[in-house]
Structure 1
Amino acid sequence: MSLNAQQWLQQIRQLPLPEKVRIMNVCGGHERSITQAGLRSALPDNIELIPGPGCPVCVCPEEDVYEAIQIALNEEVILVAFGDMLRVPVNVRKSEVRSLEQAKARGADIRPVASPTDVVRIARDNPDKDVVFFAAGFETTTAPVAAMLAEGVPDNLLLLLSGRLTWPAVAMLLASDEPGFDCLVAPGHVATVMGAKEWHFVVEQHQLPAAVAGFNNESLLAAFYSSLRQLLEDKPFLDNCYPELVTEEGNAQAKKHLYEVMQVTDANWRGIGTIPASGFGLTRKYTAHDARLKYPGYQDEARKRAGEMPPGCDCARVVLGKIYPTECKLYGAACTPRNPIGPCMVSDEGACRIWWSNVRKPAA
């Protein structure tokens, strides 16, 4: 018989926990659920929940956003992107266009979309123009984009791809001298597509407790309880606390499309730097739909710098779980959802935006 949230909390409170236990939740959706439900305040004080690198908007390289802006401003194209990407700022002088939203205000044809289906429809409705799809996201977003291409798209649909894999960022943290967490809660949506098996390395290579969680309170608390029990008993294993949707192997059809259309590449993460084998690029079969080949003059190598966040912005350390959003000097002062300085305040999967939206204002 499954437990409700209150019963899981009671189980957790009865554990003989050490003075401090740090659990990293990778997914931005997890962080949103945790914060909206007030789970941090409901759990014992010695349990620290750390938001991790689970916001694709936050880690999208600055040079990719800049490239999208320049293509939209300088070419006769329709540029489409998922809504959050329109407000992500780049580092330019105040007199220059610093977001796709500002480029749209300057006359560029830029349209927010909710799904690849929207993109295909726009391309079919505008056969006389190239439609450039600025596709940023993790596996859960990139897999439908791959399926879109595999199923066939109009010749005028081009992809400006900025896809990332989730697990290599966690692997990078675990390989560092100070990972900053004792247990891991792995992302349910990513595991639904890619399979739980992607996360076995956490246990097998690093001997850390791990659990895959869904997005309701019961699944999250079950994952917290499991990882804490593993830690106390010194018996780490990967526990699937989201069996309704997550299997060991994942979605076979989605993965088939993903690896037919995409190839894994080294990739830059904004403010973090290059992480090996953490990005997606188009395979040779689909290069006719590569916007970077059709419009090659807008890639700026000089913008590919680790630490590429605005001055004073601590988004990178927030993404890596090194600090909480409220510890950034700009949080709530210069940086708010109305006027985001860094990408973590833009997306509803960014920890800064989530905390701000749930009454975690800066201390007076």
Structure 2
Amino acid sequence: MSLSAQDWLKKIHALPLGGRGSRVRIMNVCGGHERSITMAGIRSALPKSVELIAGPGCPVCVCPEEDVYQAIQLALRANVILVAFGDMLRVPVNVPKREVRSLEQAKASGADVRPIASPREAVAIARQNPERQVVFFAAGFETTTAPVAAMLLEGVPKNLSVLLSGRRTWPAVAMLLDSDTPGFDGLVAPGHVSTIMGPEEWNFVFEKHDIPTAVAGFKPVSLLAAMYSVLRQFLEGKRFLDNCYPELVRPGGNRSAQMQIAEALHDTDANWRGIGVIPASGFALNQRFAKNDARVQFPVFDTEGRKRAGQMPPGCECASVVLGKINPNQCKIYGRACTPKTPVGPCMVSDEGACRIWWAAGVRANTTAAESSTPDDAPVSALAQKPAENDA
């Protein structure tokens, strides 16, 4: 008989974790994990000595500002149909307020900007408009980059180009662990990325850094099982990679998807917004697809003279949120200048952004204004309301 979320909670509370002074910090990399954790009220259900930290798992949040700017300029100045995943339309760039600051504003100014949900929609739009150039602004991690690679290998219309801003997840975690202050004692690794790339990508966390690691799915039962595993490893001094999402995550991952990525794309050093360049953390189109590479087929509209290129907007601390250095509402503009209706930084735009997630969970107070500063006080607690379901 499988354990319920409540069963895993009881097992976690039974662990000899000590008091608040002996705090154990667990980072969850995936934005989907952060949403599940926050909306289910898992933080408030755990022992006070366990601290959950949101990590660099929001592709919209780390997409380089200069890539968003290039997409906006292509839509405004190159007479293309610009298609992108929905969250990307609201991401602001660092230009004066009198200028167009997002793809959404570009659309309002008359540019042909269209949100899509999958690469197949980009292909369909290109075929429906053979007289127009269509640019697919493809930002995302391995899970969404794999379908882009498959799309290219299947063959695309001549009028479809890809402005690729794909990122690999593990190099960002490696960068944190190689720093002087990684900021966490255990890691909950992303389920969907591990489904594609294989759980073995995360072996370096325990092998090189001696940090407990577990792969999790997106329902409370899987997340709590992973947290229990990480905490037990921490207490017993045993380090290994535990797979708490066996329904979908298999040893070696999805070999077919990996082969498609390798055939269509290659690794490259890549800029992460507000963080900087991380070696071998990005994807770029292979030379055989140069005719479909928007970076090759269109002029670069960005200029070196544009101030703060690649950085977050003034006052925005999204980079620190993404790296788990601060909680979302510890940013000075959270809930003040920056809200979902008026987002200043990308973390308040995306459904996988920690700021947007905390806001949706009911956290309104900025820590500089009130003591109530975590989702513990949010009105949502799925764990308290109903039994958890098993992962699909």
Cα distance, 1:307 vs. partner? 6.5
- Is 1:358 paired with 2:355? no
**Alpha-carbon distance in structure 2 between the residues aligned to 1:358 and 1:111:** 29
- Cα distance in 1 for partners of 2:302, 2:161 equals 16
Conserved 8 A contact 2:65-2:309: no
- Who is 2:50 aligned against? 47
- Mapping for residues 261-280 of structure 1, pairs under 5 Å: 261-280=264-283
| Distance in 2 separating the partners of 1:181 and 1:50 | 8
1:303/1:267 Cα in 2 relative to 1: closer, same or farther (>3 Å)? farther
Distance 2:114 2:307 in 1: 26
Report the secondary structure of 1:158's partner residue: strand
2:177 equivalent to 1:171: no
Look up the match of 2:196: 193
| Deviations 1:67-95, CA, capped at 9 Å, x for gaps | 00011100121000000000000010111
Structure 1 SS opposite 2:51: strand
Q: Shift of residue 305 of structure 1? A: 5.9
- Name the structure 1 match of 2:13: 13
Which of 68, 79, 93 is 2:71 aligned to?
68
Equivalent runs, 1:274-289 vs 2, <5 Å: 274-289=277-292
Structure 1, 244-253 or 347-356: larger mean CA deviation: 244-253
SS class of match (1:352): helix
Deviation readout 1:11-34 (Å, 9 max, x if unpaired): 000001142000000000000000
1:272–1:306 CA contact under 8 A, matched in 2: no
Specify which of 80, 84, 87 is matched with residue 87 of structure 2: 84
Question: Number of matched residues?
Answer: 364
- Say whether 1:159 aligns with 2:129: no
Specify the alignment match of 1:315 in structure 2.
318
Counterpart of 2:210 in structure 1 is: 207
Secondary structure at the aligned position of 1:296 is classed as coil
Q: Distance in 1 between matches of 2:314 and 2:2?
A: 48
Residue 297 (structure 1) aligned with residue 300 (structure 2) = yes
What is the rounded CA distance, in whole Å, between the counterparts of 1:157 and 1:177 in structure 2? Answer: 44
- For 1:209 and 1:306, the matched residues in 2 are separated by 37
Deviation at 1:296, TM superposition (A): 2.0
Equivalent position of 2:380 in the other structure: none
> Secondary structure at 1:23's aligned position in 2?
strand
Q: CA deviation at 1:299?
A: 3.7
- Superposed displacement of residue 211, structure 1: 0.2
Paired-residue identity, %? 70
Match of 2:288, SS state, is: helix
The one-letter code of the counterpart of 1:14 is A
Residue 326, structure 1, aligned to residue 325, structure 2: no
Please state how far the C-alpha of 1:304 moved relative to its aligned partner: 9.1
Shift, 1:362, TM fit: 1.1
- The DSSP-based 3-state class of the residue aligned with 1:297 is coil
Post-superposition Cα deviations, 1:166-211, rounded to whole Å, max 9, x if no partner, equal 0000000000000000000000010000000000000111010000
Once residues 202 and 301 of structure 1 are traced to their aligned partners in structure 2, the CA distance between those partners, rounded to angstroms, is 37
Cα deviations by residue, 1:112-131 (Å, 9 ceiling, x for unpaired): 00001111100000000110
Q: Which amino acid aligns with 1:118?
A: E
> 1:297 Cα deviation (Å)?
3.0
Aligned to 1:244: 247
Distance 1:131 1:102, change over 3 A: same
Q: 1:16 to 1:205 in 2, by over 3 A?
A: same
Cα RMSD after superposing both structures: 1.1
**Corresponding residue to 1:29 among 23, 32, 40:** 32
Q: TM-score scaled to structure 1, two decimals?
A: 0.98
Write the distance in 2 (CA, Å) between the matches of 1:272 and 1:317.
Answer: 8
- In 2, the alpha carbon distance for the partners of 1:291 and 1:17 equals 53
What whole-Å deviation, never above 9, does each CA across 1:125-177 have from its counterpart, x for those lacking one? Answer: 00001100000000000000100011111010000010000000000000000
Conserved in 2, the CA contact under 8 Å of 1:63 and 1:303? no
**Further displaced range: 233-242 or 305-314:** 305-314
Structure 1 pair 318/307, CA: closer, same or farther in 2 (3 Å)?
Answer: farther
Instruction: Judge conservation of contact 1:63–1:304 (CA < 8 Å) in 2.
Output: no
State the SS of the aligned residue for 1:310. coil
